[in-house]
Amino acid sequence: MTKVGVLVGSLRKESYSKKLAKNVMGYFPEGFETELIEIGNLPFYNQDFDDENNAPEVLHEFRQKIGECDAFLFVTPEYNRSIPAVLKNALDTASRPKTDNKWGGKPAAIISQSPGGIGGFGANHHLRQMLTCVNVPVLQQPEAYIGNVATLMNESGAITNEGTAEFLQKFVVKFVDFIKRFED
C-alpha cells in the first residue's frame, strides 16, 4: 500500500482547499491510501526543538506521520501571493533536525486554488521553491491552478463542474505514475 499524506494550507472550517482535497482523495486508485494530516495544532517551529528532549509531543507525532508517508499532496490557497504561514510552519517542522528531514526524496504534487482568477499561481510556485530545499521532487505537468473555485462545487463541497472533476482525475493519474517512479 502506498501512503499519500495530504496537507491542506487552510485551517478554515469551510475551506475550499480542504473540500478540493477531499474530492481529490477519492480519485486515487486501489493500492493507494490517502490521509489528511493535521497541521493546525503544531507550535511555531523553534530551532530548540531540534533537541528532541525539548520538542513537544505533538511535534514528534507529526514528524513520525510525515516519515510514514511515501508521497505528499499539497492543496493550498494563496495568502498575499505566497503560501499560508501554517503550511510553511509544517514544512519547516518536519524538515529538521537537518540530519533527519522527513520529507526528503519523496514525490509530491501541488494543487493551488483561489476564488479569484489566477488560481493561487504565486503560492503554487513559492511552494515548489521550498520543496526543492527539502529535497522533494514535484510533479511538473500537469500544473493545477484552480481558479474561481467557489463556482466549481456545491454547498457540501462536491465538485459539480465536470471539466474540473475530469482535470483533477487526470491529474491524479499522472501523479500516481510519478509516485511509481520512486517506488523500490
Residues that bind ligand FNR (CB under 6 A): 10, 12, 15-17, 77-81, 114-116, 118, 120
The residue (of 97 and 116) whose beta carbon lies closer to ligand FNR is 116
Instruction: Scan for cell 483533477, then name that residue.
Output: 168
The residue (of 16 and 32) whose beta carbon lies closer to ligand FNR is 16
The residue (of 59 and 73) whose beta carbon lies closer to ligand FNR is 73
Contact 9, 123 (CB under 8 A): yes
Residue nearest ligand FNR (C-beta atom): 77
Torsion of CA 97, 132, 11, 45, to 10 degrees: 20
Residue 154 beta carbon to ligand FNR: minimum distance, rounded to whole angstroms: 15
Residue 111 beta carbon to ligand FNR: minimum distance, rounded to whole angstroms: 11
Residue 124 beta carbon to ligand FNR: minimum distance, rounded to whole angstroms: 11
Residue 151 beta carbon to ligand FNR: minimum distance, rounded to whole angstroms: 12
The residue (of 15 and 23) whose beta carbon lies closer to ligand FNR is 15
Concatenating the DSSP letter of every residue in 139-180 gives --SS-EEE-SGGGSB-TTS-B--HHHHHHHHHHHHHHHHHHH
Find all residues with CB under 8 Å of 27, minimum gap 6, and list them. Answer: 168, 169, 172
Sheet with 2-8: strands ordered across: 32-36, 2-8, 71-76, 108-113, 144-146
